[in-house]
Structure 1
Amino acid sequence: MGRRWIRWSHKRGMRSSLIGLVTFACVFLKLGLGLGPYSGENTPPMYGDYEAQRHWMEITVNLPFNEWYTYDPQYWGLDYPPLTAYVSWICGIVAHSINPSWVALDSSRGIETAGSKLFMRGSVIAFDTLVYVPALLLFSRMWFVTRSKRTQDLAFLHLMLHPALLLVDFGHFQYNSVMLGLMVMALNCFAIGYDLAGAFFFVLSLGFKQMALYYAPAVGSFLLAKCVLLGPKEGGRLFVRLGLITIATFTVLFIPWIPPFSSSTRAILVPISRIFPFARGLFEDKVANFWCASNIVMKWRKLAAQAILVKAAAVLTLLGFLPSVAVIGKVAWELKTLIPSEAEEGSKLDDKQPSNFSNTPILPLLPYALLNSSMSFFLFSFQVHEKTILLPLMPLILLFAGATPDSEVFQWGALGSNVAVFSMWPLLKKEGLALQYFALTLLWNRLIGYNPLKIMSTFYSMKSFVHVLSAGAYMAIIFLHLLEPIIIPPARYPDLFPVLNVLVSTPVFVCLWLWSIKCCIQVSWAVTGPSGAGAESIDRPRFSSIVSDTNERPSSFRAPISRGVVADRVRTISLGPAHGKRARRSSTHSVPGSTSALPSSVSIFRGNTTVNDRMPDS
């Protein structure tokens, strides 16, 4: 449906107004979601996440900085980093100017007037429009610059209407789109070589919600690999600058709790202890991760002390994201060894670009590394909530946005998205968002042209592993949805259906985690060849030829560049720039066997081959 609508709009001369129409329609959809219930509505004494966000506006606008993290911590005490507090402060100032009773200290607790609800819902939409929407628009333009305008607009539409974030932020009520938007902006900066700006946006994402740490291993290894590729001189300079920008940004965010602005040198420990609440236990609700799924048999909290569980979670998380970090480091080291001095030479060819622009051979690895890292944290880390599936879902949907329906990335993206929404079903049902859950899930699958019933009907065709996994997962999901209204759980097992939800969702997430590792390895082969052998057997181009190839486009819209395994100039475009028939037609230009090991989201082209990949008319 989305593909046909984009094509219809383009043929009728609506290309220039299409982005505005999509954004406008999405705002109305978000307002429609806001008409439904929200977290904790009419449920005293704590109400829910809605009241938590409102209460933070209340305390930030009425109390000095040094009391923000200490005021009545038992009633929704502030437990997010300072940027969230500053956003709450700004919202509190606006709310106070409209109606002081909305944020009156203590007396406003649990307020649920129509005006207050409208303001709270409007604040989420406002920050989403200011941060998340521009980030997605830039992503669709920068990362898909070699694709047709239709494909870029379709990717933007898919990203804007993804149901998981819509349900959590505009139904359940939170501000996750701000954190995710800042992370996408960091990716946009990395794509065009502005690594300092990318590091700045990533720190802001961390400063808004500490869950952005899920991306830290991938981002950190990517930037460190860039420093290695640039060589001792340029790389050392970039490393120092990245360290300075990171320290400076964190310092500004935490400055009210740092002397001389704070009277105590230990004041900084107060927000940090609130941000990382290890005292809360291994998990609270039923979450589709390793700990909750295995707890059905192992009963972890009875078998081991909490300190041991914290360490075990840290070790498993480290082992989970180690493959992607190792692959990025291996690729950077091999490229630096094979081309010891050309990075510095190529980095000086274009004075209009940052010095590290030309050295982006590892860029196609970044989205898969982000998926591997964030999924590792979700599956194995300490104190995970069901809503944090949004973090691994973000890189998966970014990969999905540019894929064609016959590609492996499309199949994994659709499966991961549907199962992620299903994994939040117990939460959404409890909040009264069942109608919104079903409506948005059906709308998005119709929009992307994906039919789970068709997947189920072809279960025995055994087309691929992801096809069989999808069919089995959808059968289980539909069966549970049909069974839940009929069967009343026995008193001995009151959480029967949430546990069954975990047992269905967790294996899919584990497979996604393993798939991300496989893709990291495959993309690394595209860059260096398996074990670096392909890199040594081919006459590699100099960095200067790759940099000059980018001068064909305006500097602000240049495609991500990568070293490849072809004889002449190469361009590796990540996130699915060429698939299907067009990719197969171009196979004669690539090194034999070089694309066979690649995920369908990465293609390599030789020489001056133009990648347009227009959407088919049928």
Structure 2
Amino acid sequence: MSETRFVGADTLAILTGLFFRWCVSLFSYSGEGKPPMYGDYEAQRHWMELTVNLPITEWYFNTNDNDLLYWGLDYPPLTAYHSFICGYFAKYFNPNFIKLHTSRGYESLNHKFFMRASVFIVDLMTFVPGICLYFSCSKSRKTEVYRSGGGDGPSEIRNKISPTLLIFIALIYPGLLLIDYGHFQYNCVSLGLFVSAVVCTMKNNYVLSSVLFCLALNYKQMELYHSLPFFFYFLGICYNILQYEGFKPAFKLLFNISLSVILSFFIIWLPFIFDVNQISQVIQRLFPLSRGVFEDKVANFWCCFNVFYKIRLFVNNDTMAKICLIDTLFSVLPSSVDLFLNPTFQKFKISLINSSLAFFLFSFQVHEKSILLVAVPVLLYFPQDQFFCFWFLIISTFSMLPLYIKDNLHVPYISLTLFFYFFITSLLDLKTTINSSIAIIQNKIPSIMKKRLFITNNICKVIYYMFLTSMIGCLVLTFIILCLEPPSRYPDLFPLLVSFYSCIHFIMFFLYFNFVQISAKGCIKLKLN
């Protein structure tokens, strides 16, 4: 009977999450009624048009039928194949949806339904089952072969949340809903494949995990944000097996993982790999240095630094790309080295946050939507550190506010964010949750340092009021950007304030999660049976 109730509750949680998705899809989308370029909605439609009507050799090249300046394809082959499949369905329902040249900017109620449904279906096939599997498997997860010492942290002991509620929280996260179902993108595909790869990692199925992550990476190149934790975690496990089991089992696992990666890339890139010009062109389209270090206003370090030092005026793109690469690798190095030396699944989850946040803050050509690549690992880590994860999820949604305003999505943004906030605050006792998070920190800091750093019980109150101040700041900035006109001399002032405010938070979270990972207990080496 209890199992039936659990399944029924899971179904209700999923259906509610799907209902929220469809409600958001009723609002406007990126570039609606805004010629000549329109927006991301038109970009996705245009890719369907190109892939269906042109030979594969022309998908990434500038030709008479493929003007790369008009939403040229700039995602990996798996995205192109997805566009090709969607395009054939569009051609079946209405050939005018993807008619070459004449369908540019096509907008109709039927087409909007088709496009929204295409996101809904792939979401049901990727992200939704990935999230359900993750939290369901987390409940019954067996002890790792290489497990962390000390058992559950204080937050896990005091504030257990059922898998059903965790699934519901993940499915109503406003950021992803507003971007995929409002703004219009297919982030749910790559993120769903990524979550499924994490599930396989949790179940110690490293080969399947590698295949799934390769699929995610070949759908959106931004999955590079998550690549280093996978690499160092698998490498660390192989190294531990080498130390305690010998060369043969370590080499076998490393060979199987490597072979799965090579074969996955080979199959996906098969139409392109035998032509050097094709490969070169695709790579140039995936990593366009000419666009500059960032576009629009984004809540990362370089955009905020640009306020004080105009990067684009004094540093060329090639040099800036090298600087960003060095800074990103340097910022992600502590997390990666720690994960290699102590390859526990718990550290792996936190490293996914640290790596993606480092890429978001310091890498080249960052979009505001890329914060979703940090938010999903935070959702996966939510049961272990509910307060700071909740705080991050609110700020990550807020950081994309100028984009929502641009797309006329302020109503669903306010509605979803308020529902998300009040649902979780009603579910959690914030002060108790803060105490749990602080208890984790206090347990990791020597008593002498606690006195020097003034880490006492009063810090719980300090953090609580910092959180309230943070939320008030979000409310004030939301009111300003919605209700006031910026000074004519500074038309981008309000979006810049949102980005700057959010960036300060993200740097704080970056320092916090790095501390949590590095100070966590290391591995207890167990012999493989």
Shorter-chain TM range is 0.7 to 0.9
Deviation at 1:427, TM superposition (A): 0.4
Q: Give the aligned partner of residue 300 of structure 2.
A: 289
Structure 2: 5+ residue runs without aligned partners? Answer: 142-155, 435-456
Give the deviation of 1:470 after TM superposition.
1.9
Partner-residue secondary structure (3-state), 2:60: coil
The question of whether the paired residues in 2 share the 8 Å contact of 1:37 and 1:171 is answered with yes
For the 8 Å contact 2:347–2:517, the answer to whether it is kept is: yes
Question: What CA distance in whole angstroms lies between the structure 1 residues aligned with 2:462 and 2:93?
Answer: 56
Residue 489 of structure 2 corresponds to 492
- 2-structure distance, mates of 1:381, 1:285: 15
**Counterparts of 1:63-212 in structure 2 under 5 Å?**
63-70=54-61, 71-145=66-140, 151-212=162-223
CA RMSD of aligned residues (A): 2.4
Deviation at 1:272, TM superposition (A): 1.0
The CA deviation at 1:488 is 2.3
Tell me what 2:360 maps to.
378
Query: In the alignment, does 2:12 pair up with 1:21?
Result: yes
Cα distance in 2 for partners of 1:168, 1:303 equals 33
What code does the residue aligned with 1:100 have? P
Residues 19/47 of structure 1: CA separation in 2 closer, same or farther (3 Å cut): same
- 1:431 is the counterpart of 2:407: yes
> Pick from 402, 412, 418: which aligns with 2:394?
418
How much has 1:486 moved relative to structure 2?
4.7
Q: Which structure has the larger Rg over C-alpha atoms?
A: 1
Higher helix content, 1 or 2: 2
Q: Secondary structure at the match of 2:72?
A: coil
Check the 8 A contact 1:473/1:504 in 2, yes or no: no
Query: Conserved in 1, the CA contact under 8 Å of 2:14 and 2:167?
Result: no
Q: Number of residue pairs matched?
A: 481
In structure 1, the residue matched to 2:448 is: none
Task: State how far apart, in whole Å, the 2-side matches of 1:240 and 1:298 are.
Answer: 47
Provide Cα deviations, 1:347-371, integer angstroms capped at 9, x if missing partner.
xxxxxxxxxxxxxxx2111111100
Give deviations 1:503-551, integer Å, cap 9, x for gaps: 210111001111121111122x2536xxxxxxxxxxx8x536xx6xxxx
Deviation per residue, 1:143-165 (Å, 9 max, x gap): 22269997111111111111110
Contact 2:13–2:165 (Cα < 8 Å) also in 1: no
2:476 match? 479
Q: 1:238 — aligned with what?
A: 253
CA distance in 2, matches of 1:56, 1:170: 18
Counterpart of 1:16 in structure 2: which amino acid? V
- 1:319 paired with 2:330, answer yes
Identity of paired residues, percent? 37
Instruction: State the partner residue of 1:220.
Output: 231
Q: CA deviation at 1:382?
A: 0.4
Distance (Å, rounded) in 2 between the aligned partners of 1:160 and 1:465: 31
Residue number in structure 2 paired with 1:564: none
Task: State how far apart, in whole Å, the 2-side matches of 1:446 and 1:11 are.
Answer: 28
User: Could you report, residue by residue, the CA deviation over 1:76-106 in whole angstroms, capped at 9, with x for unpaired residues?
Assistant: 0000001111111111111111111111111
Distance 1:291 1:516 in 2: 21
Match status 1:443 vs 2:458: no
The question of 1:527 aligning with 2:527 is answered no
Paired with 1:275 and 1:327, the residues of 2 have a C-alpha distance of 30
TM superposition shift of 1:166: 0.5
- What does 1:328-343 align with in structure 2 at a 5 Å threshold? 328-331=339-342
Distance 1:415 1:100, change over 3 A: same
Post-superposition offset of 1:481 = 2.3
Counterparts of 2:124 and 2:359, CA distance in 1: 28
Q: Is the 8 A contact 2:360 2:370 kept in 1?
A: yes
Q: Aligned pair in 2 of structure 1 residues 453, 367: CA closer, same or farther (>3 Å)?
A: closer
CA contact (8 A) 1:411 1:466 kept: no
Q: What is the one-letter code of the residue matched to 1:494?
A: P
**CA deviation digits over 1:106-147, x for unaligned, max 9?**
111111111111000000000000111111111011122269
Equivalent position to 1:35, from 26, 30, 37: 26
- For 1:447, give the aligned amino acid: F
Is this contact kept in 2: 1:227–1:235, CA < 8 A?
Answer: yes
The TM-score, its normalising length taken from structure 1, stands at 0.74
> Given the two structures, how large is their TM-score scaled by the length of structure 2?
0.87
Question: Residue in 1 aligned with 2:285?
Answer: 274
Which gives a bigger RCO, structure 1 or 2 (Cα 8 Å, sep 6+)?
Answer: 2
Displacement after TM superposition at 1:19 (Å): 2.3
Corresponding residue for residue 518 of structure 1: 515
Q: What residue ranges of structure 1 are gaps of 5+ in the alignment?
A: 1-9, 333-361, 404-408, 529-539, 548-618
Partner of 2:46: 55
Report Cα offsets for 1:180-204 as digits up to 9, x if no partner: 0000111111111110000000000
| Partner Cα distance (2:295, 2:36) in 1 | 19
Are residues 1:257 and 2:272 paired?
yes
Partner SS, residue 366 of structure 2 = coil
